[in-house]
Amino acid sequence: MLKFYGKMIFPLILILAGCAPLEPEVKPAAPAPALKLRPLSGKIKETSKSYFHFIAGYREEMAGNLKEAESSYSQAVRNNPDSSFLSTRLASLLVRRGKLDEAEKFALKATTQNEKNLEAHFVLGGIYASRTKLEKAVATYTELLKMSPDHQETRLLLGSVYLDLGKFAEAAGTLEVLVKSGRRPVLGRYHLAQAYAGLKKYAEAEREIFKLLEGQPGFTRGMLLLARIYEVQEKFDEAEATYKKAQKIEPDNRLIRSRLGQLYIRKKNMKQALEEFKVLGSKEPDNVNVHRTLGFLNFDQREYQEALQEFRFVLARTPKDEMVRKYVARIYEELKQYERAEEELLELLALVPKSLDGHVQLAWLYIDQKKWKKASEILEKAVKHHPEEGRVHYTHGLLLSRQKKFTEALPYVQRAVKLEPEREGYLYSLASVSYELKRWDDVETVARKIIQKNPKHANALNLLGYMFSELDKNLDEAEKLLDRALAIEPENAAFLDSIGWVYYRQGRFKEALVKVRHAATKMPKDAVILDHLGDIYLALHDVEKALLHWKRASEADPENEKLKKKIQTHLSRHKKPLM
């Protein structure tokens, strides 16, 4: 028995799963630290005007009056424009005020005025890092370390910049020196663990975090990193335990709760994930992403009204969210409120006229209701926007197949395969349509291609095995193919019917009866299964049961003239009335 593919729905687990491959955390750009006031001897003449304005600026800075401090420092620089020290001081103050363009100009000027000005290089490196001029930051920090190899704060920042650049080997080498020095043990080990994780040296990364937590057991950032390292190795139980440990320390930490909820999604523990996100939603009532996730989780739990409530919140703020509006339509489909589902999808297309997902989902809504003309019209619109999208042509082929217009369906499916030749769903659809058109060589070629790519493609195994049984050839291979399909899906009615039909072709009628009767318990009104049962009973010389099952098959498929003729032929030979 054949089994057609239908809709290709994007798996909910992929939508919900938010844990990306492990990478260094994105850290907010830190301004360059304010410099300590150094002795001024030899830098500014104490009797000069620049000294007077510098002292005034310094007092204002210490009092927190940054605007006034900037004014005084600027005046000091104007009075003594060649002072590297004053340019550095002004640059540092400008960083604190968020004026990074001006800060960069004065920090660069300071390094030009005095190439050995360590403070100027340090401030400039911080500015470059803050402005994501990462290669320049590396060059500046590297130059500073040449002048002052023991400046471990610079080494820490250089390692962090390497992480941001994805240069994990360089980051590891830099940070290993820092950790050996014994300076900055917490952040040093934390960033070193990130570098090892980026290099996929997970054991080394775990080791560094364990050492870090020995000295600072309440460092939850380290626990979060450790949990992510566990996740990337799919050690989900260890990750869960680590998140829960961090949560005990910081029960109100929203990031920890969000990560734990995402982990439950990865573990397919949607119920527990829902509980975590409900708590998160109560703490972040205006967070659209939280409400979005709650909507998906409620949908997964078939809590449709709750899901609708969450999705409505999202759409009120982001009306063009295609995925959310699609799921609202799916909820209405599940509730059999087809007009509401149609309204949602038409609204989506009004907001996003070229939405591929919107067109395809609306077409499927019409197909499921056998509104063939509307489905065809919406797909014709879709192909104008997306002529090179295989999904549009695939869906059109399925639309025609549902109407048993296989000759018309073939070019659409062929087009889909041409556009995406490795897509298994499209290949299987091509094989199925070819089967209906009795293009046996094409069926075998395509089915074998699918099986070669995916030896556990149960439907392709069934299709090829069933075709051989129908053609009454290669029956030993057919049996092996169908055994493989049933090993994957042992209770699949179509597969049970197919193996039964192979047994029938081999003359193993009693074994055939067992399999096909099992199939009939799962699909009691399937015309093909009932027809096969009739043929098997006839082979077992039970004409009455054969006629009874053929009659039921004819009721299920009233347009099958071949079946009607078979009934009439054997009915004329049978004297007893059928029950």
What's the pLDDT at 36? 41
Kindly state the average pLDDT of the residues 396-416: 97
Separation between Cα atoms, residue 125 and residue 155, nearest integer Å: 11
Of the candidates 50, 111, 109, the residue with the CA atom closest to the CA atom of residue 77 = 50
Half-sphere CA count of 216, side-chain side, radius 13 A: 15
Q: Per residue in 21-71, pLDDT tens?
A: 333 343 433 444 443 434 443 455 554 788 899 999 999 999 999 999 999
Average pLDDT of the residues in 255-263: 95
How far is the C-alpha of 361 from the C-alpha of 380, rounded, in Å?
Answer: 14
pTM of the entire predicted model: 0.74
462-571: CATH topology is 1.25.40
pLDDT at 30: 42
The confidence score (pLDDT) of residue 212 equals 94
How would DSSP label each residue in 433-482?
A: HHHHTT-HHHHHHHHHHHHHH-TT-HHHHHHHHHHHHHHT--HHHHHHHH
Residue 311 pLDDT greater than 50, yes or no: yes
Domain ranges of the chain: 462-571
SS3 assignment, position 221: helix
* pLDDT tens profile 338-385: 999 999 999 999 999 999 999 999 999 999 999 999 999 999 999 999
pLDDT of residue 13: 42
**Whole-number mean pLDDT of the chain?**
90
Q: What is the DSSP letter of 6?
A: -
Distance CA 249, CA 228 (A): 18
pLDDT of residue 575: 57
d(CA 74, CA 300): 61
Q: How confident is the model at residue 579 (pLDDT cuts 50, 70, 90)?
A: very low
d(CA 576, CA 569): 14
546: pLDDT confidence band, cut at 50, 70 and 90?
A: very high
Closest by CA to 87, choosing from 69, 104, 63, is: 104
For residue 541, the SS3 value is: coil
* Residue bearing tokens 């009455």: 544
Q: Who contacts 285 (Cβ-Cβ below 8 Å, separation ≥6)? A: none
**Res. 520: pLDDT tops 50:** yes
**Tokens 């199925």 sit on residue:** 432
Exposure b/e, 383-418, CB count within 10 A at least 16 = b: beebeebbbbbbbbbbbbbbeeebeebbebbbbbbe
Give Dmax over CA atoms of the chain in angstroms: 131
- 8 Å CB contact between 198 and 166: yes
Confidence check: pLDDT of 547 > 60: yes
The beta-carbon contacts of 329-336 under 8 Å, at least 24 apart in sequence, are: 329/361, 329/365, 330/299, 330/361, 331/299, 331/304, 331/307, 333/365, 333/368, 334/302, 334/304, 335/304
The residue with greater pLDDT, 432 or 569, is 432
Q: How many residues does the chain have?
A: 579
Q: How does residue 1 score in pLDDT terms, banded at 50, 70 and 90?
A: low
- Give the chain's end-to-end CA distance (angstroms, integer): 27
Mean pLDDT on 534-550: 94
Q: Judge whether residue 472 has pLDDT over 80.
A: yes
CB-based contact 423:411 (threshold 8 Å): no
What would the 3-class secondary structure string for 354-404 be? CCHHHHHHHHHHHHHCCCHHHHHHHHHHHHHHCCCCHHHHHHHHHHHHHCC
Give me the mean pLDDT over the 129-156 stretch.
94
454-467 tens-digit pLDDT? 999 999 999 999 99
Instruction: Determine the Cα–Cα distance for residues 355 and 546; give it in Å rounded to an integer.
Output: 52
Q: Where are the alpha helices (DSSP H) in 32-131?
A: 49-62, 66-79, 84-96, 100-113, 118-130
Contacts of 407 (CB under 8 A, 6+ apart): 437
Determine how many CB atoms are found less than 10 A away from the CB of residue 184.
17
Confidence of residue 529 (pLDDT cuts 50, 70, 90): very high
pLDDT score of 14 more than 80 = no
pLDDT score, position 32: 40
- How does residue 184 score in pLDDT terms, banded at 50, 70 and 90? confident
Query: Quick check: helix, strand or coil at residue 127?
Result: helix
**CB count, 10 Å around CB of 127?**
28
CB 432 within 8 A of CB 442: no
pLDDT given for residue 45 in this prediction:
55
Q: How far apart are CA 344 and CA 312, in angstroms?
A: 11
